[in-house]
Amino acid sequence: MLNNALGTVRRGIPTIVIAGALVVASATSGATAALVITGKQIKDNTVTTKDIKNGTLSTRDMSSSTLSSLKGATGPAGAPGAAGAPGVSGYQIVTASAVIPADDGGEVVANCPPGKKVLSAAGELAGAYTGTAVSIDLSATSATAYAANYYDTADTLTIDVVCAVVG
């Protein structure tokens, strides 16, 4: 029993020594903090440029009057830039419709006026919820809407095309 008790004490001694070292270290760190110099301890006008590390000051460290004094005169205007690319103008919506017989399919084409290109297109069947498809031709001057009418009455397929002059 005694042997076991002494073994426990021997293993606990290193722990006590480490804890004591930590207490001593924490007690002396206050003395180190007391050695920090504050702004109250520095005599006015004694800190020079060589005493300040580069990159450590920012505009928030300076007074507004100091910041104002750093602004110079406005420089001359730069050279004009190159002309930009021509934009898009002359928007126009072109609409075309066709009747699709009952239980049949069909298409309708809408053409942009000369000099204008298709920007977008949308097709719809007026009374049905079946799908439509739209295709824009390669020259981008017309668009075609396609639909299948699965109902027992005729329906109207309409295409709306947005056309514009594209420069």
Could you report the per-residue pLDDT of 48-59, keeping only the tens digit for each? Answer: 778 788 888 888
CA distance linking residue 139 with residue 115, whole number of Å:
11
Neighbours of 106 (CB within 10 A): 18
The whole-number pLDDT of residue 92 equals 96
Q: What is the pTM of this model?
A: 0.51
Domain edges within the chain: 88-166
Above pLDDT 70, what percent of the chain? 79
**CATH annotation of 88-166:** 2.60.40
Determine the longest span between alpha carbons in the chain, in angstroms.
Answer: 110
**CB hemisphere CA count around 54 (13 angstroms):** 0
